[in-house]
Structure formats: C-alpha cells, structure tokens
Structure 1
Amino acid sequence: MPDIKLTPLGAGQDVGRSCLLLSMGGKNIMLDCGMHMGFNDERRFPDFSYIVPEGPITSHIDCVIISHFHLEHCGALPYMSEVIGFNGPIYMTRPTKALVPILYEELRKLNLQNKGNTNYCSTQAVKNCIKKITAVDLHQSIMVDNELEIKAYYAGHVLGAAMFWIKVGSQSVVYTGDFNMNPDRHLGAAWIDKCQPDVLITESHYATTNPTKKRCSDEDFLKYVHDCLSRGGKVLIPIFILGRAQELCLILDQYWQKMNLTYPIYFATESLTERTNSYYKMFISWTNQQMHKSNPEGEAFEFKHIKSFHRSYTDDPEPMVVLATNGMLQAGLSMQIFKEWAHDEKNLLILPDICEKGTLGHKIMSGAREIQFRNNEIIKVLLQVEQMDFDAVADLNGLIQLIEQCAPKNVVLVHGHHEHRQLLLSKTNKEIRFECEILSTGETCVFESFVRMPTEHELHLFTNEHKRICRARGPPPTPIKRTNVFTVHVAEEKRIVMLNMNVVEGCKGNFNIEQTLNFRAKYNLDDPTTPSSSSEPKLKTLDKLFILFREKLKDWKVKLDEDNSKVIVESVELDVVVPDEKVPSRTNLTISWKNRDDDIARYIMEVLSNLS
C-alpha cells in the first residue's frame, strides 16, 4: 500500500486560505479551498500550481471536500472550479451547500467595493460551481468511486460544519477543519467514532489557549455593551453574515428580554437577515438538543429585539448596537460605520478574535490609533476597542479530547503556528501516544502506512502458545519481563489463518509484525457484603477490587478511571456492571484487554476465580 502524503497549499503555519492536498491509495483529495481576506491579488488563493503548473486540474483531483462555510475554508472554491477548471465531485453537508451562496454573494459585493476581481465569484460562476456540489448527511457513507469512501461527523463550530473520515483500502484519514468540543447556545459539541485513522489532520489555531468558561465570556461581552450604552455611546460589532452572528444575536436578544432594555439593536447585512435566519430554522435539527427541543420550528431565530439597519441610522445621536459585515472591517457597512464612529471615545468597537494579517481589523487589534485609507483619508481611532473571543473553535483541551476520541496514529496540525506543536505535546498526558507534525505551506509530509487485513484463528491456539511461554514463570506478571506471543499467519484459500507454533519451527526470528487483538470476558463475583439496591454496591465492590489488585500487582500502576467506574492496569479494564437481581450477593464484572496485556488479564481472572 502506498504511503500517505499531505501538502498544505495554504494555511500551513498561518491562518487563512485553508487548502490541503491529500494523496493516499492512489487517490488525490483536496481538503477545503479557502481564501485569505487580507489580500486582493493571487496571494488570497491557495497555490494550485503545486497540482499542475497551469490549466484545469480535473484529471489530477479525485474529489474536493469542504468542511464548513467560512470563507477561509471555502472562499476560493468558485475560483478553483470555474477559473482554474475543475469538473469533479465536491462534497459538503446540506446546510453548508445551502449557505455558501450567501457568503459568495457577500464576497462579490466586497470585491466590488474594493474594486477587486469579481469574475470568479460572479452570480453565474457561483451557480455553475454549486451545481457540482453533492450534499452529504451526517454518518452517511459516500462511495466517491469503487475505492474512495468518505463519511461526515458533527463538528459544532458553525451550522453545517463537519469533520470528514476518508478511507481508501485499508488507509484512513480524519480531517476536521474548525471544530468545537463544547456546546454553545445553539450548537452541540463535536463528536466522532474511535475510528483510529492513520492520520488526524486538525485545526490548531487555538492550541495555545487554555479553556475559559463560556458563561463568563458572555457576561463580559454583555457588560461592555451595556456600560457603553449607559454612557450614551454606540457599539459596533463587525461580524460575518453567518456563524457567530447568530450566536451573538441569541445572546443579545435574550439579555434585552431579561433586562427589559429598549436600546435599538440593528443587524446590518443589507436585507439578507431574513434569508439567513430562515436557513437556521430549516436546519434546526443541526442545533444542540436543548435548542432543538425548545424551538422545534426555529422560533429562537425570530429575534424580537433586533431590527434591520439603514445607512441613515449611522448619524443618529442615540445609543445603539450595530452588528455589521465584514467581520474584519475590510469593507462593507462595518468599515463605513467605523469611519463615522471612530472619533468618539464614548463609542465601543468589539472585534472578533481572528482578524487575518493585512486587514483593517488586524491593524486596530495590533494597537494602531491612526488609520490611512486608500484615498489618503486618515481616521483617528479614539473609540474604545475590545478584542473578544467569539469563535467557537476547540482550545488545547478540545484538541486533546479529539485525539483521545478518534485515537489516530499520527497527528498533523494546520491553520496555526509552529509553537502550538510544542505546547500541545507538553500538555498531552502519557496515555496519549501519537506522532505530531506541523507543516508549512508547500511542505510535504509522508506517513508510512501498513496494510490492515482481518485474520481468522482459533482462540485455543493463541491460548496454548501463551501458556507455553508463561509456564516457566510463575505469577504475578512483572513489567520487567513481559510475555510476547509469537505466531505465524499464512494465506489459505483467500483468508489469513494462524498456525500452531508447534507445527512451524524456526519462525520466531523471521516474523516481526505486531498483531493487536481485543478481548472481553464477563465474570460473576460473589460479594456477600454488597446489598442489591442503590448505586453503592458498584462503588463498594470496585473499591475492594482496586485495593486488592494494587496490593497484588505492586510493580504495576493500578488506578481508577476519571469517573471512578473502572479499575485500570495498562490496557486491562475491570468494570463492575450491575448487581445481579436474582442473586443479591453476586456482582457482574466485565474485563477487557489487548493481547499485549494478556498475562495481566489472566492473572486478574485467576485471582477472581480464587475469590469466588
């Protein structure tokens, strides 16, 4: 099986224009196709010349996968599809397919205002691009061709965002884009199977960020807003038309209702408010359980205190809150309103956490107090500026949680900076073993891949071999001298079978391929002191077992899991399931382990047998 190759065409060790070329099993897959909002020339697009120097790329790319609708992840898609030339399949979730045309329309208007190139995002170009998109549902297995399979998993972050599992033959990769492991007011937490991919490619922009309570962030945000309005000021919040905008509207609308406030809140998106909110109602099933249950028809997105904005309101002397596009102040109403309000120190500008380099938002975040525009217009920044984290992206703990959840063999960090790798590795506990890489744009990383093939064998052959090796050494097992079971697998009638080692002589030194087998056994244990009701029996029996095996296995690290529900020794997990109602004194146990720790598991079962 060929190795897995990964090359960032953009957003390797920076933020913006996310695009990666994944090569595996003879297939080439493009992961995201974003743009950089800080440039108006070719630097805003990924480097497609890496695929082919010039001309269409259809024959070189098997499919394109888009993780979510943010422009830094999908903004260059019409350019790649209609200008460079790509007629192959493009995959994204149903909400993303419904929402990207709105973002592309906003992009076209921004380019017109900045006198940039609009050919690649013209109305017709976008229509042609959208026709090539195939919408996918969560957990739906899609066969791109006879060998290439993809599946989408819920990513949180924004409506429709997905993580994708990609499989060719026995090789597999998981790509996340942006994701969020914590639920917010309208979206749930990201989740994925323990699919054990060869490579996990994940967002890392917030890898250096430690978690903070979201509730406190909401309170700080509302306090800044309310204080500004109370002193007669105006609040400008630059936002993108989709994503965090809806979250902020929910926060403000609920606070206004609770506090019975009358200050006007405006959503300045040039008449697109109703259209965007209608999609949030349509895809209410993508929101978190509480939102879906309490608002089955999407009533929460019918904001009672938020109205459409008119440009004439800019000069209104009364306090107000305005949420206006563009989120980085590059163009649009947000930039025009900023010019009008920047001179008044009573006013407040609240900026999102991510503003790409080269944008007006980034300059202000960096401390600029005087801004010169293209027409030589100079604006002094006297208003209060606050930088707040509105982005629902996983922090350091979220990255570690994702790694634990899907159990990859290798990890690649993209859309972030080099120092994130060292911090992530230093914070990762010893139980998570993985190779972590961080790539620059244009740099290729190669991952060695092994063929996985299911095997058939009789359990007694494995057991007999284990007993033969362990016979000379009495229990208990020790970490110094582990049991390594050697077997021989051979092809027989289109299947793989395991032979008895007594039949094959001299093979131990010639075969060195590690096999991983998972075992599970159920066990009944009599515990006369345990009552048959309440949750106490489980705890009492578990505590007794923990003390027992900590004494018996002194050379090993015997511990309880975080929930105090299992005794753990290496890969061996001993779980007290439930008391047996028919026999009050009998407790049901489940023991699971990997073959590398078979000696420990068998010793534990032998001790349990003696107890019974």
Structure 2
Amino acid sequence: MLATSQALEKKRKVEAAHAANPNASNLVEFTPLGAGQEVGRSCMILKYQGKTVMFDCGIHPGFSGVNSLPYLDGNEDVDISKVDVALITHFHLDHCAAVPYLLSKTPFKGRMFMTHPTKAVFHQLIRDFARGAKGSSDEALYTEEDVDASMDRIEVVDFLQTLEVAGGIKITPYRAGHVLGAAMFMVEIAGMRCLYTGDYSRVPDRHLPGADTPDVQPDMVVCEATYGVSRHLPREQREAHFLQRVTDTLRGGGRVLLPVVALGRAQELLLMLEEHWEAHPELQAVPIYQASGMMRKSLKVYETYQEMLNEDIKTLFMHENPFAFHHVTHLKHAGQFDDVGPCVLMATPSGLQSGVSRDIFEAWCEDRRNTVILCDFAVQGTLAREILGGPKDILTKTGGRKKLNCSVAHISFSAHSDYDQTSTFLDEVKPPHVVLVHGEKTEMMRLKGALEKAAAEKEIPRSVYTPAILQTVKVTREPLRVVRVAGQLAEKPPHVGQHLKGIMVSGPAGTGAAGSGAAPQQLLLHPNDLHAYTRLHRGRVTQRQALATDRPFSALRLALEVMFEGVEGSGMLPVSGVKHQRREDPQGASFQGQQLHEQQQQQQDAGV
C-alpha cells in the first residue's frame, strides 16, 4: 500500500509539473561546463526527453590542478551520475585530459565513446600527462593507474557508424579534419538531432582530409568559435611565409623555436620542413630537432591508421613511409643536443607554460637573432598569448625577469574553422539553432552577429546562442509524431519526403471503426474512408432560399463573399458552393426571384 501511495504521489507531481510547463518534455537543454566564452576545458551537456549526453571532458591549459577542470559539480541542474553517454571528439588535452578524473573521481556511470585513433593516442598522451604532474601532489588530478583503468571503460566507434545506446540515443561520428581520428558527433534522441563539431577544419592539409558534411539536417549545431570572424590565408601563402621566416633566421645565425602540440600540427610542420630541407641542400647542415617523446611515439599511430589520412599521404605510403624523416633528429631529452649554432627545435607545449618549450624559450629569448614561431592558437592565460602582446620582458619559472629580445611570429597552421568555413558549413547543414562554444567572448560575439546578419540577408531562419560556463540554452522543439496511414492512402507506400494529403483523426473522435475497440491515437485517412475507420461520416447540407430583389445576383454574391471570406477548405474537404436560378413571377409582376442553392460538405469535429 505504501509503495502504491508513493507511486500515485509521484504521478501527481509529474502531472502537475507538466501542467505548469506543458513543453517541458520538448525542451532541448544545452549547458557548457567548460569552453563557454573561453577556449579550454571543453565539456558540454545536452539534455532531451530524459536523456543526457556529455561532449568532451578536457582541461584548461592556462590553469593547473583542480582549477583546470570543467565545472563537473557546478550546476544543480546537471547531475553527472545521470549522464547516459560521453562522446570524446579528439585527443587534445583541452578535450580529453579530464576523462580519467571523470571516470575515477566522480559518480559518472555512463558509457564513453571515441574513435580508434583517438583511443590509441589518448592512452599514451594522458599517461604522459599524469606522469608529468606526479611531482606536484597538489596538481595531480589522477595517477597513471587511473589512466590505465579508464581504458577498460572507453569504447570505440568507427566514422559513419551509427550506434544506439542508453535505450534511445543514436550517435554517428563524422570526420572533423582537425587531427587524426577527430570526430564530429551527431546525436539523435526521439527525432531531435544535435551535431557537436568539436574542433574541425574543412580545408585538407598535407596529411588529413577536410571535415565531412552530414547528409541529414540537425535541429541544433554546437560549433567552435575559436577564430571568430577571422579568415585564414590560403595554406600555400602560410607555408611560404613560415619557411621564409625559418630560412631568414637560420641565415642570420639564429635559432628557431616551434612550440607545438605533440600531435596534429607537429606532424604537419615536420612534413613541411622535411620537404623544404630535401629541396634545399644548403640547409641540410642545419639540424632540425624534435624534443617530444610523445610526438615520436605517435608516428606509429599515423602509420597504423593510414586509411584515415588523405590521398596524397596514402599514395606516398605505397613507396615509402612519409613519416620516416631523414632530416629530423628525435631527442630523448632536451639536454641531448649541442646548443652551439643555428637550428630548428620543435617542443611541447604550444602555450609555453611549462615543459621543454618553456625551458628552451627562456634560454633563447634574450638573443635578437632567434625567432619563436607560434603555429597554433594561443590560449588566454598562457605565456604564448602574453608574448604576442610584445612585452619588454617575461617572468621566468623561477620568478626572475628576462628581456624579450627575440622575434615572435604568429603564423597559424591551427586546423580550426575560420569564418568562411563556419558560415558555409552552417548554410549547408541548415540548423535552425546554432550554439557557439570554444571561443573567447569578444570573438564569439562578433561571430554571432556576423552569422545572424548573413542568415537574415539570405532569409534563413537561424538563432545563434553564446552561453557562458554553466549558462543553459533552452530550445523548445516540436516532438516527433507518428501517424498511421490506412485505407486508400495506404494502398501505395509513400516514398521519403512525399507529402500526403488526407484527414488526420485523433483524440476521442478516433475510437475505431464501427463495432471495433480502441483506435490509433492519430490516423491519416482519405475522406471516403472516414466511415470505415472511425465513427465519423461525411454529410451534405443543402439549403434553398427564395429572395425577392431587383439587384443583380453579382451584388448579392459579393455581399456573401465578404461575409464568409474567412471560410476555407480543411484538408481534402471543400468549402461551400453557391448556385442561383432566376424565376419570373407567373402574374407578370416586375419582380425577380432568385433561388440560392447552397451546397456544403460539413466536416464534423475530428479533434484534429
């Protein structure tokens, strides 16, 4: 009895909540737990019809320890224990480095998916990250053992493979073109589609194809806004500028530091430098050093997943391994090379906040002959972002000051979408709702304005949102409705996209054919089949009226049309018709009688 009473009370509460907000079940809710009006710690929550999806779970490169994490417990409306599935787009730290923390330190119980290359690189990269944080217990978010344990809970999915998980969530990954294995995820819940782009690029580069364009229209696109309204120069111009800057520095007796992310742009730059050195024998005496063990190990992954690279690289693999570099020396540690003359050195991290790149930068920054080339996006709060502002000196890791005399150049090879790519992509997939994330507030607002203006000029319905962290975007969506088709309309099965014309019967009126039991909730019928499937019947009402008038019938018809101008046909039921006949008085009186004959097919209330 107690259980029954509790169930009834719960039912009453649900009904009361629905009465207060009848659209609650049709509400799409999207909340950034990170990367809302910032770049870093990407982590998003999507909720619809009782299902919850997490996109990405990364750290912020400008912070350390728990301060770098997404706000996993910062919103009372987001319960991590209720997340059904987490989808990780790629292996960069700002998108995946909080995954072991999520799996080992929070009540998350859902499933987790990423592509095969992402999982392969994730294990190596995040283990290396955990090992690097071991020296400071305050900053260590998890252990190497936590990373190993997380691998058992991570499942893999192929590009363009559709899986249904958690009893009604369909997921489909598309190529994102950002790094090897990077995915955009299309999620479908009860007919509602949301596409999360993660980091993506539609422009092919030296080793990766561009992003896919999904062939289905999403209701919502969650899109990166990293570069706002900026437009990238053509790749050929950027490569020429980069190689010229490197060559000029070396000829002037200087050194070139390339702070990079271990995987992604690093491989692109190595391919570029290898080709340039091969074509210029005069440079071959100048060493190119690569100081990341992770970068060296990752090259095996690129060899393993050749089929995911672009056609040019796959063709090269038929003859030799393009990642077996002849002019690049892989260093086991930073102290291995002799720092005695011009060289090119590639090291991590790209933000210069720590590690080998920071050590080399502090050693080289006071020499005017040297150059630092930033090839990736410089995140707010990092030293890389600071030196772009041209300070006279910098704060060292030990707390001292050093003069910034070296040259600093920003030549972006960052595989992020620019304005042209973003606007074209949105025009092609045509979402009515766009949520911008992974961008600094100023750039994000500029992009929002530009996208709204472009949509208005093209008369495209589009709403653009720019939520801050923990700010929820709420969009009401018409739910998917299933209608049964019967009778004449069902004799020939319709094709996809075909419009059907008929009478839709629903509610109390649709109580079945005569003598039958309960009927479907919604039924589409030809008017001639109403009597067979419902208790409704077609009727005809005829009215005759004699009217004495000395005016022409056209004047009377005009008056009737004005009076009934709002009357229209409903579906396949026509509007009323009017006919007239002229009759003379048999006594010959000067009188015109006009008989109005009105035929009307009246549609009974079918609860449509």
Q: TM-score normalised to the size of structure 2?
A: 0.74
Q: CA separation in 2, counterparts of 1:108 and 1:407?
A: 41
CA gap of 1:315–1:454, structure 2 versus 1, over 3 A, is same
Counterparts in 2 of 1:96-495, with a 5 A limit?
A: 96-112=118-134, 115=136, 117=138, 119-260=140-281, 261-262=283-284, 263-269=286-292, 271-296=293-318, 299-309=321-331, 310-312=333-335, 316-416=339-439, 417-428=444-455, 430=458, 432-453=460-481, 488-490=503-505, 493=520
SS at match of 1:242: coil
Does the CA-based 8 Å contact 1:207-1:423 persist in structure 2? no
Bigger shift: residues 453-462 or 370-379: 453-462
Q: CA separation in 2, counterparts of 1:439 and 1:10?
A: 10
Match of 1:592 in 2: none
Q: Does 1:86 align with 2:101?
A: no
Aligned-pair identity (%): 31
Cα deviation for residue 237 of structure 1 reads 0.3
Return the letter of the residue paired with 1:337: I
Bigger shift: residues 314-323 or 95-104: 314-323
Match of 2:33 in 1: 9
1:327-349 CA distance string (max 9 Å, x none): 11111111111111111100110
Q: CA separation in 1, counterparts of 2:326 and 2:210?
A: 27
Does the CA-based 8 Å contact 2:352-2:383 persist in structure 1? yes
Return the letter of the residue paired with 2:161: Q
Does the CA-based 8 Å contact 1:461-1:499 persist in structure 2? yes
Match of 1:497 in 2: 524
1:238-292 CA distance string (max 9 Å, x none): 01111111011111111111122311111101x3344210001101111112222
Q: Does 1:20 align with 2:48?
A: no
Cα deviation for residue 183 of structure 1 reads 0.6
Does the CA-based 8 Å contact 1:185-1:247 persist in structure 2? yes
Cα deviation for residue 455 of structure 1 reads 5.3
CA RMSD of aligned residues (A): 3.0
Correspondent of 1:47 among 45, 57, 71: 71
CA gap of 1:219–1:27, structure 2 versus 1, over 3 A, is same
Cα deviation for residue 159 of structure 1 reads 0.5
1:182-205 CA distance string (max 9 Å, x none): 111111111132311111111111
Counterparts in 2 of 1:56-67, with a 5 A limit?
A: 59-67=81-89
Return the letter of the residue paired with 2:452: L
Cα deviation for residue 368 of structure 1 reads 2.0
Q: CA separation in 1, counterparts of 2:162 and 2:77?
A: 34
Q: CA separation in 1, counterparts of 2:385 and 2:37?
A: 18
Match of 2:586 in 1: none
Q: CA separation in 2, counterparts of 1:183 and 1:140?
A: 22
Return the letter of the residue paired with 2:250: L
Cα deviation for residue 99 of structure 1 reads 0.6
Return the letter of the residue paired with 2:503: V
Q: CA separation in 1, counterparts of 2:279 and 2:138?
A: 46
Q: CA separation in 2, counterparts of 1:12 and 1:193?
A: 25
Does the CA-based 8 Å contact 1:284-1:298 persist in structure 2? no
1:190-241 CA distance string (max 9 Å, x none): 1132311111111111231124211100110100001101111100000111
Match of 2:60 in 1: 36
Q: Give structure 2 stretches of 5+ with no counterpart.
A: 1-24, 491-498, 507-518, 531-536, 541-565, 572-608
Return the letter of the residue paired with 1:30: M
Q: CA separation in 2, counterparts of 1:117 and 1:374?
A: 17
CA gap of 1:43–1:485, structure 2 versus 1, over 3 A, is same
Return the letter of the residue paired with 2:58: G
1:54-89 CA distance string (max 9 Å, x none): 9xx663111111111111111211112212242321
Aligned residues: 487
SS at match of 2:262: coil
Q: Give structure 1 stretches of 5+ with no counterpart.
A: 463-483, 514-612
1:367-422 CA distance string (max 9 Å, x none): 22211235322221111100121211111111122213322221111112222201
Q: CA separation in 2, counterparts of 1:373 and 1:211?
A: 32
Does the CA-based 8 Å contact 1:33-1:74 persist in structure 2? yes
Return the letter of the residue paired with 1:426: K
Cα deviation for residue 145 of structure 1 reads 2.5
Does the CA-based 8 Å contact 1:284-1:296 persist in structure 2? no
CA gap of 1:219–1:4, structure 2 versus 1, over 3 A, is same
Bigger shift: residues 291-300 or 235-244: 291-300
Match of 1:549 in 2: none
Match of 1:599 in 2: none
Q: CA separation in 1, counterparts of 2:175 and 2:327?
A: 31
Does the CA-based 8 Å contact 1:13-1:418 persist in structure 2? no
Does the CA-based 8 Å contact 1:282-1:298 persist in structure 2? no
Q: CA separation in 1, counterparts of 2:539 and 2:210?
A: 54
Q: CA separation in 1, counterparts of 2:105 and 2:341?
A: 47
Cα deviation for residue 119 of structure 1 reads 4.0
CA gap of 1:460–1:224, structure 2 versus 1, over 3 A, is farther
Does the CA-based 8 Å contact 1:233-1:320 persist in structure 2? yes
Match of 1:77 in 2: 99
Match of 1:95 in 2: 117
SS at match of 1:166: strand
CA gap of 1:496–1:509, structure 2 versus 1, over 3 A, is farther
CA gap of 1:233–1:192, structure 2 versus 1, over 3 A, is same
SS at match of 2:202: coil
From the CA coordinates, give the structure whose radius of gyration is larger.
2
SS at match of 1:392: coil
Does the CA-based 8 Å contact 1:33-1:73 persist in structure 2? yes
Does the CA-based 8 Å contact 1:488-1:498 persist in structure 2? yes
CA gap of 1:184–1:284, structure 2 versus 1, over 3 A, is same
1:461-502 CA distance string (max 9 Å, x none): 89xxxxxxxxxxxxxxxxxxxxx9985323565774244499
Match of 2:550 in 1: none
SS at match of 1:450: coil
Does the CA-based 8 Å contact 2:85-2:166 persist in structure 1? no
Bigger shift: residues 384-393 or 310-319: 310-319
Q: CA separation in 2, counterparts of 1:461 and 1:143?
A: 32
